[in-house]
């Protein structure tokens, strides 16, 4: 593709050369000649250079074309001779045939342009939807996290006030170690039944205000 761009920048009437070269390649295929896939690109380049010698006043040598195509001059000459011999040195393109190919290329180009615009619009719409989804997901996670923290704060406060008071009443006397063990077991049991931390059902983490078992 870079080689084609280089050649089209140098030669005149680039559009005519490209359309005519496609006609010549079809003529080559009609002769029964087989073009290996690895040589198809170079064959197209050689056909463009051949047509440019016919339609342009300023004709460049094969050495310049070979330099632009980054191809050895010997290889370029061999390809050119092969094309000319296959076509019996007849590289002329009838006006009617040229108009048919030109119209087909124009229709194909228009179809591809419309498809490209549709794909671009669809890509932008999908990108917009992804951005909106990320915003909603972030807002949902933020609100969910805030609700969880609020519930944890509530249970921390309940533990220090209500559970401690109930434990003292049930024990009958203030036995520090027994009260702590009773509070922890009571709190954990109720937490499993009345409080769900996230979707996994993991119990709430011990806060700094909760007593440790080994204290």
Measured distance CA(71)–CA(93) in Å, rounded: 26
> Using a CB cutoff of 8 Å and minimum separation of 24, what contacts does 137-143 make?
none
> Can you tell me the distance from the alpha carbon of 164 to that of 187, in angstroms, rounded to the nearest whole number?
10
Supply the pLDDT for residue 197.
Answer: 44
3-state secondary structure 2-47: HHHHHHHHHCCCHHHHHHHHHHHHHHHHHCCCCCCHHHHHHHHHHH
Of 121-125, 153-157, 184-188, 190-194, minimum mean pLDDT range: 190-194
Q: Rounded to an integer, what is the distance from CA 155 to the centroid of its chain? A: 47
What residues form DSSP beta bridges with 175? none
Region of poorest pLDDT, from 43-52, 79-88, 93-102, 153-162: 153-162
> What are the pLDDT digits (tens) for 81-136?
888 888 888 887 887 888 888 888 787 777 766 666 666 666 667 676 677 766 66
| pLDDT value at residue 121 | 64
What's the pLDDT band for 140 if we cut at 50, 70, 90?
A: low
What pLDDT, on the 0 to 100 scale, is given for residue 214? 47
> How far is 43 from 82, CA to CA, in rounded Å?
10
Residue 174, SS3 per DSSP: coil
The helix-helix angle for 2-10 and 37-55 (nearest 10°) equals: 10
Please tell me the predicted confidence (pLDDT) of residue 60.
74
Could you tell me the pLDDT band of residue 34, with boundaries at 50, 70 and 90? Answer: confident
**Pairwise pLDDT comparison (49 vs 193), residue with the higher score:** 49
pLDDT at 152 over 60: no
Q: Is the pLDDT of residue 53 over 70?
A: yes
pLDDT of 45 reads 81
**Predicted pLDDT of residue 195:** 44
**What residue ranges define each of the domains in the chain, with the CATH number in brackets?**
2-93 (1.10.472.10)
Taking the complete model, does pTM exceed 0.85, yes or no?
A: no
Which pLDDT score, from 0 to 100, does residue 79 have?
Answer: 84
Look at residue 22 and tell me whether its pLDDT is greater than 70: yes
């Amino acid at each position: 593709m870079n080689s084609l761009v280089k050649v089209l920048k140098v030669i005149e009437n680039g559009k005519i050369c490209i359309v005519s070269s496609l006609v010549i390649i079809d003529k080559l295929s009609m002769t029964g000649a087989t073009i290996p896939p690895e040589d198809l690109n170079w064959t197209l380049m050689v056909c463009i250079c051949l047509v440019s010698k016919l339609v342009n006043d300023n004709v460049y040598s094969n050495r310049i074309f070979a330099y632009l195509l980054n191809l050895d001059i010997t290889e370029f000459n061999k390809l050119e001779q092969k094309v000319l011999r296959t076509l019996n040195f007849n590289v002329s393109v009838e006006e009617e045939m040229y108009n048919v190919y030109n119209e087909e290329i124009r229709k194909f180009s228009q179809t591809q342009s419309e498809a490209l615009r549709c794909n671009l619009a669809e890509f932008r719409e999908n990108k917009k939807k992804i951005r909106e989804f990320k915003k909603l997901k972030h807002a949902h996670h933020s609100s969910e996290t805030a609700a969880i923290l609020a519930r944890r704060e509530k249970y921390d406060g309940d533990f220090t006030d209500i559970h401690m008071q109930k434990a003292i009443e049930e024990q009958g006397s203030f036995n520090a170690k027994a009260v702590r063990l009773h509070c922890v077991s009571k709190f954990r049991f109720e937490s499993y039944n009345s409080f769900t931390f996230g979707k996994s059902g993991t119990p709430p983490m011990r806060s700094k205000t909760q007593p440790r078992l080994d204290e």
